[in-house]
């Protein structure tokens, strides 16, 4: 396909309203993100009903900004992509209905897109992906190791059995009375700490690529309780460092082992927790030792944004796999089934 | 922004409402109904809303270029439901560059009933007098989204009470008091509308009809005029009411437009309560 094409993408799966216009699959012309974080901070976490309300209030404003910033008129939009799932269903619905309305009005194809495919293909916006590739997806809602044997073919080789990494960070932050969202504070305190309180690592079965963080979270709470009972001050920095070291150790070790086993020619780090300095630093080190190329998108492409949704939707655009106007938001959409060509193969 | 007049052939209104179990889409033009599509699709409004609009536009041979305004039921009603129609309407109005006109979903329910069931007969009566119409949507725990409208025989349509979520028992009493205070103004009929036509009994404790609940001095007067009916919201009424608003020179700001939920979210209400508590 030689003529230029534009995909307009909408992402509303959680607490960010985002719209992007991406040219030829990888050239980000605009990527407007409206965060609701200040609203949800008052409640110590994302309140789904409020998130949905905010999306409705912002959606056309953000659409307008994204088109204006891209300098592209509606008549030059060739497809509308939208996060179909997974996510908060009430939040997803707003994006899906807006996208369907646009596809109807502009008479262009609609592409329902998997949120995690978006996080993974954010990497496509910064460089070529070489297959097989292994993606480590770490975010507030997800912790997964995904093998990509070929472009757009997703196979989950490991996933969390309880909390997502970001969730564990937030819970530990709350226990340490840090403000919401707590992940960045824990990361910072871990960097500043002079020593660490040693905490357990959940390796699970020897050959498993799955994760579990609930035991680690309990260990942090137990340490806080112990200090409180004895009337000792809580060593928050050392605890943050111990927690972060345990998380990083398990996550990066499993990622490197999977990359070896599946012969990955590249490791992709993605998701909001990819912003974590500790994880980035360790993975960079390990990949250098193993001579394994590592791709990490810049911060604004790691957190939820619509440009990444356009990048994933481009996979389906190029092979003409479109959805009808009856597309349904799915809170539990499967990544593997979203694979390119999967619907026709099943 | 190009605006037509009511006689302009192109001045069609695309109307939709998803605040209730009904997925309602309609096209109106110059006070007339061009076409409508009604379907009971609980929890599936988001799936079919766009294709239903597309089908209706095709059936009625009204292309997008002929649509002069986008009309939408603003709620109250199901939170998720009302967001679907509002999001669709905002997005269409924005991309088409057409005015957006919001209408109370409760008013649309009442107005549709008046227009289709009562207006003709009322106009024929010499002694007609006013009719009150009270649309109700179940909001659980004895509460209802409700409002009150009056219609005169000459067709004058007026809002008597604002949209709100109310404990129905109290509200019913206040209606009674209002009638007792001015017996000369007792309407010829008071219609209570709901999806099943039996919501008042449920809201009043299930022991029966409106008449049983009515007590006190005005009881017999109230009893004699109360009626109940099953009535489902129809988007044609949304379109017709929106046309009237638009002809009065009214339209909504597309970006700022939001559903009328009539109440805060639970989380906000709790936070406010906690703040009030700690301020004491
Ligand atoms: Zn995400």
CA distance B25 to chain A (A): 14
**Which residues from chain A sit within 8 angstroms of residue B83, using beta carbons?**
52-53, 56, 90, 93-94, 97
Distance of CA B157 to the CA centre of its chain: 13
Q: What is residue B188's predicted lDDT score, i.e. its pLDDT?
A: 86
Which residue is closest to A42 within chain B, CA to CA? B271
Window 65-94 of B, Cβ < 8 Å to A = 79-80, 83-84, 86-88, 90-92, 94
Judged against a pLDDT cut of 50, whether residue B108 lies above it is answered with yes
Do A209 and A250 touch, CB atoms closer than 8 A?
no
Q: What is residue B220's predicted lDDT score, i.e. its pLDDT?
A: 58
Helix (H, G, I), strand (E, B) or coil at A252: helix
Task: Dump pLDDT digits (tens) for B196-237.
Answer: 888 887 777 654 445 544 455 455 566 667 888 999 999 999
Say whether residue B39 is in contact with chain A using an 8 A CB cutoff: no
Helix (H, G, I), strand (E, B) or coil at A24: coil
* CA–CA separation, B98 and B71 (whole Å): 10
Which candidate, A335, A306, A342, A325, places its Cα nearest to that of A83? A306
**Which residues from chain A sit within 8 angstroms of residue B258, using beta carbons?**
53, 56-57
Cβ contacts of residue A52 below 8 Å, gap of 6+?
A: A88, A90, A91, A93, A94, B79, B80, B83
Interface of A with B (CB under 8 A): 42-43, 47, 49-50, 52-53, 56-57, 59-61, 63-64, 74, 90, 93-94, 96-98, 100-106, 324-329
Which residue is closest to A90 within chain B, CA to CA? B80
Residue with tokens 């020897």: A206
Mean pLDDT, rounded, for A42-70: 95
Phi, psi for A162 (deg, rounded to 5): -140, -105
Helix (H, G, I), strand (E, B) or coil at A145: strand
Q: How far is CA A205 from CA A174, A209, A262, in A?
A: 30, 8, 18
In A231-298, where does DSSP find H-type helix?
236-261, 277-290
**Which residues from chain B sit within 8 angstroms of residue A59, using beta carbons?**
87, 90-91
Dihedral angle sign, alpha carbons of residues B176, B177, B182, B185: negative
Helix (H, G, I), strand (E, B) or coil at A131: coil
**Which residues from chain A sit within 8 angstroms of residue B95, using beta carbons?**
63, 74, 101-102, 105-106
Q: What is residue B183's predicted lDDT score, i.e. its pLDDT?
A: 72
A138 is known to lie in a ligand binding site: yes
Q: Which CATH number fits domain A6-121+301-338: 1.10.150.120, 3.30.420.40, 3.40.50.2300, 2.60.40.10?
A: 3.30.420.40
From the candidates B92, B94, B270, which should be mutated to test the interface with A, based on the most A CB atoms within 10 A?
Answer: B94
Judged against a pLDDT cut of 90, whether residue B109 lies above it is answered with yes
Minimal Cβ distance to A94: which of B54, B87, B267 = B87
Cβ separation B79–A104 shorter than 8 A: no
* CA–CA separation, B163 and A85 (whole Å): 34
Task: Dump pLDDT digits (tens) for A254-275.
Answer: 999 999 999 999 999 999 899 8
**Which residues from chain A sit within 8 angstroms of residue B91, using beta carbons?**
59-60, 63, 97-98, 101-102, 105
The proportion of chain B whose per-residue pLDDT surpasses 70, expressed as a percent, equals: 88
Cβ contacts of residue A83 below 8 Å, gap of 6+?
A: A10, A11, A12, A13, A92, A95, A96, A113, A114, A115, A118, A309
Domain ranges of chain A: 6-121+301-338, 131-296
**Which residues from chain A sit within 8 angstroms of residue B47, using beta carbons?**
326-328
| Furthest-apart CA atoms within chain B: distance in Å | 63
Q: Which residue has the higher pLDDT, A247 or A345?
A: A247
ipTM of the complex model? 0.94
Instruction: Give the homologous superfamily in CATH for domain A131-296.
Output: ATPase, nucleotide binding domain (3.30.420.40)
CA distance B127 to chain A (A): 47
Q: How far is CA A285 from CA A157, A252, A294, B193, in A?
A: 23, 10, 10, 69
* CA–CA separation, A204 and A254 (whole Å): 11
Judged against a pLDDT cut of 50, whether residue A78 lies above it is answered with yes
CA distance A73 to chain B (A): 10
Mean pLDDT, rounded, for B114-133: 82
* CA–CA separation, A146 and B35 (whole Å): 50
* CA–CA separation, A65 and B233 (whole Å): 35
A137 is known to lie in a ligand binding site: yes
CA distance A320 to chain B (A): 20
Do B231 and B113 touch, CB atoms closer than 8 A?
yes
Say whether residue B273 is in contact with chain A using an 8 A CB cutoff: no
In chain B, where does DSSP find H-type helix?
45-59, 79-96, 105-113, 119-124, 168-181, 199-203, 210-213, 219-225, 235-247, 266-279
Q: How far is CA B161 from CA A130, A247, B166, in A?
A: 65, 58, 12
Mean pLDDT, rounded, for A211-239: 94
User: What is the pTM assigned to this prediction?
Assistant: 0.93
Cβ contacts of residue B197 below 8 Å, gap of 6+?
A: B228, B229, B230, B231
* CA–CA separation, A152 and B202 (whole Å): 54
CA distance B237 to chain A (A): 22
Cβ separation B48–A327 shorter than 8 A: no
Rounded to the nearest integer, the mean pLDDT of chain B is 87
Q: What is residue B213's predicted lDDT score, i.e. its pLDDT?
A: 46
* CA–CA separation, A169 and A247 (whole Å): 9
Minimal Cβ distance to B91: which of A102, A324, A327 = A102
Same fold, A6-121+301-338 and A131-296: yes
């Amino acid at each position: 396909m030689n003529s230029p094409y534009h995909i307009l993408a909408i992402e509303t799966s959680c607490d960010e309203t985002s719209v992007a216009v991406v040219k030829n699959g990888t050239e980000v012309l605009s990527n407007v993100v409206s965060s609701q974080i200040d609203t949800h901070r008052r409640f110590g976490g994302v309140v789904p009903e409020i998130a949905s309300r905010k999306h409705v209030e912002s959606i056309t404003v953000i659409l307008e900004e994204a088109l204006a910033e891209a300098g592209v008129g509606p008549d030059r939009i060739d497809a509308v992509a939208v996060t179909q799932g997974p996510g908060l269903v009430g939040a997803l619905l707003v994006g899906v209905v807006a996208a369907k309305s646009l596809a109807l009005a502009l008479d262009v194809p609609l592409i329902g897109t998997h949120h995690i495919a978006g996080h993974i293909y954010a990497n496509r916006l910064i460089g070529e992906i070489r297959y097989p590739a292994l993606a480590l997806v770490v975010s507030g809602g997800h912790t997964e190791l995904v093998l990509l044997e070929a472009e757009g073919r997703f196979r989950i080789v490991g996933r969390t059995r309880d909390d997502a990494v970001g969730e564990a960070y937030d819970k530990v932050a709350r226990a340490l009375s840090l403000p919401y969202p707590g992940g960045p504070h824990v990361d910072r305190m871990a960097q500043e700490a002079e020593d660490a309180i040693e905490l357990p690592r959940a390796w699970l079965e020897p050959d498993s690529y799955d994760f579990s963080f609930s035991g680690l979270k309990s260990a942090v709470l137990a340490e806080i309780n112990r200090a409180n009972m004895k009337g000792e001050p809580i060593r928050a920095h050392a605890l943050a460092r111990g927690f972060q070291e345990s998380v990083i150790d398990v996550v990066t070790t499993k990622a490197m082992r999977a990359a070896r086993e599946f012969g990955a020619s590249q490791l992709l780090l993605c998701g909001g927790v990819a912003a974590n300095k500790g994880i980035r630093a360790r993975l960079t080190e390990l990949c250098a030792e193993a001579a394994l190329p590592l791709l990490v998108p810049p911060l604004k492409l790691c957190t939820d944004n619509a440009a990444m949704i356009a990048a994933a939707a481009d996979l389906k655009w190029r092979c003409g796999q479109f959805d009808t106007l009856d597309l349904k938001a799915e809170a539990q959409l499967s990544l593997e089934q979203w694979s390119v060509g999967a619907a026709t193969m099943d | 922004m190009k605006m037509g007049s009511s006689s302009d052939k192109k001045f069609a209104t695309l109307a939709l409402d998803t605040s209730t179990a009904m997925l309602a889409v309609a096209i109106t033009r110059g006070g007339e109904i061009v076409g409508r599509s009604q379907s009971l699709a609980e929890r599936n409004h988001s799936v079919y809303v766009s294709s239903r609009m597309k089908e209706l536009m095709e059936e009625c041979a009204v292309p997008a270029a002929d649509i002069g305004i986008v009309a939408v039921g603003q709620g109250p009603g199901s939170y998720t439901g009302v967001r679907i129609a509002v999001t669709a309407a905002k997005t269409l109005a924005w991309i088409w560059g057409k005015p957006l006109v919001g209408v109370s979903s409760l008013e649309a329910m009442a107005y549709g009933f008046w227009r289709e069931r009562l207006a003709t007969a009322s106009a024929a009566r010499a002694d007609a007098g006013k009719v009150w119409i009270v649309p109700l949507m179940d909001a659980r725990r004895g509460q209802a989204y409700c409002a009150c409208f009056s219609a005169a025989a000459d067709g004058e349509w007026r809002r008597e009470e604002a949209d709100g979520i109310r404990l129905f028992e109290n509200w019913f009493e206040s209606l009674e008091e209002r009638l007792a205070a001015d017996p000369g103004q007792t309407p010829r009929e008071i219609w209570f509308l709901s999806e099943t036509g039996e919501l008042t009994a449920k809201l009043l404790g299930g022991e029966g009809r409106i008449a049983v609940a009515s007590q006190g001095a005005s009881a017999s007067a109230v009893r004699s005029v109360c009626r109940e009916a099953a009535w489902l919201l129809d988007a044609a009424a949304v379109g017709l009411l929106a046309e009237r608003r638009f002809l009065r020179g009214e339209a909504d700001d597309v970006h700022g437009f939001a559903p009328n939920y009539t109440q805060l979210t639970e989380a906000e209400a709790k936070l406010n309560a906690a703040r009030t508590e700690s301020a004491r």
